[in-house]
Amino acid sequence: MRPVPEQSDIAASYRDHAAMMADSPCFAEWAARTAEDPEVLAVLATLPTEKQQANLVFAAARWHGVPAPGPYAGLRAALLGPDQQAILDTVRTRRTQTNEVGRLTALTPALATLGEGPFALVELGTSAGLCLHPDGFDYDWGVGTLTGSGGPVLDCSTRGALPVPDVHPRIAARIGVDQHPLDVRSEEDMDWLLTLVWPEQEGRRARLRAAVEVARRSPAQLLGGDLFDRLEDALALAESSGAVPVVQHSAVIAYLEEPDRARFHERMSSLVAAGRCHWISLEGQTVLPRLTATGPAPSSPHPFCLAVDGQAVAWAHGHGRTLSWFG
Ligand SMILES: C[S@@+](CC[C@H](N)C(=O)[O-])C[C@H]1O[C@@H](n2cnc3c(N)ncnc32)[C@H](O)[C@@H]1O
């Protein structure tokens, strides 16, 4: 059977994912084999385009018991067998929504450049709010450590003159905004978050479990809705705490269309200029190009740009594994 045109697009996307999923041999194989499997492609073609993505389909299959790591035959049997409808329903109702506390290895020293606090942290695109707990982790940056939180250790290898914080920041308020906030107190929400971690990445899964425990000790206040619409509400809450408001975001602005990214840059710049808040941004280097342009030539192994109040200070790995500080 030859794939029909729409299936060819899905096949091409899965071929791309096979390359991007190199960190997971299981998912890389599933994506490559799916791309060559017209029967499975025909099932995926019944989904809305934005729901055909490999990450979401594979997570939904695992949610319904397909073993991973495991052979492609397991995925195929599930997508063509009696579990097909349940898996497709999960794909339709859920979304890929990671929450990576490894990014705190970059966000925490950025926050420390603003002092010790107390801060009222506002996170836009917060997912489950796990990155609102910079004080809940210890850090090992290679060039220095920050200990004493009682929480798990986040490791990062560092280049440049990283200003290693002496103390954990004091956080007076934790406020998150997300279109679809996840509740750390909900076992189901947290199980889904864990299912989204790729199969062979046991270290990341263990870290995520530990981060959920940290967040459960002092859950953030989460506001549902679009970040443009809820920013003012979140800032008002931060201001009412009496602490210094800091707006942060990581791996979020890529979700906005190009004109909205520029609009976001303008909005944050004017809030900073008006003294309403500080601004910490950790986004892909191409996402907010005017921020990236304030740094030296970007370095390719660190695809993210870390910036404080509109000024780039470091290049960072997307999950916080490495940090190259120049600020
Ligand atoms: C890739 S996750 C990153 C989560 C977290 N910032 C982190 O670094 O782990 C992106 C999050 O942004 C949220 N998001 C995307 N567009 C948004 C918008 N316009 N308004 C509010 N939240 C949004 C998504 O729901 C998702 O939870």
Q: Which of 4-18, 167-181, 251-265 has the lowest mean pLDDT?
A: 4-18
pLDDT score of 1: 55
Ligand 1 center to 104 CA (angstroms): 15
- Ligand 1 pocket: which residues have CB below 6 Å? 97-100, 103, 125-127, 131, 177-180, 226-227, 250-252, 255
- Give, in degrees to the nearest 5, the angle at Cα 36 between 254 and 16: 25
Tens-digit pLDDT profile for residues 43-74: 999 999 999 999 999 999 999 999 999 999 99
Q: What is the value of pTM for the model shown?
A: 0.92
User: Are 70 and 140 members of one domain?
Assistant: no
User: Are 315 and 222 members of one domain?
Assistant: yes
User: Are 239 and 281 members of one domain?
Assistant: yes
Helix (H) or strand (E) holding 178: strand 171-178
Sorted by sequence, the CB contacts under 8 Å of residue 20 that are 6+ apart come out as none
Instruction: Report how many domains make up the chain.
Output: 2
Q: Which atom of ligand 1 lies closest to the CA of 100?
A: 9
Residue 53, both tokens: 């993505």
Q: Is residue 302 scored above 80 in pLDDT?
A: no
Question: Average pLDDT over the chain, rounded to whole?
Answer: 95
Residue 221, both tokens: 């206040």
The residue-averaged pLDDT of 134-139 equals 98
Residue reference for tokens 């020293």:
109
Collapsing DSSP to helix, strand or coil, 316 comes out as strand
Ligand 1 center to 42 CA (angstroms): 30
Separation in Å, CA 267 to CA 72, 173, 256, 277: 47, 22, 14, 12
Q: What's the CA gap between 313 and 302, in Å, rounded?
A: 13
The residue-averaged pLDDT of 100-119 equals 97
| Residue at which a domain ends, from 93, 110, 132 | 93
Domain that holds residue 89: 5-93
Residues 46 and 92 sit within 8 Å (Cβ to Cβ): no
Which residue's CA is the closest to the ligand 1 atom numbered 12?
125
| Residue at which a domain ends, from 76, 93, 110 | 93
| Residue at which a domain ends, from 73, 93, 113 | 93
Which residue's CA is the closest to the ligand 1 atom numbered 16?
255
Name which of 282, 134, 107 is nearest 215 in CA terms: 134
Which residue's CA is the closest to the ligand 1 atom numbered 9?
99
pLDDT score of 297: 83
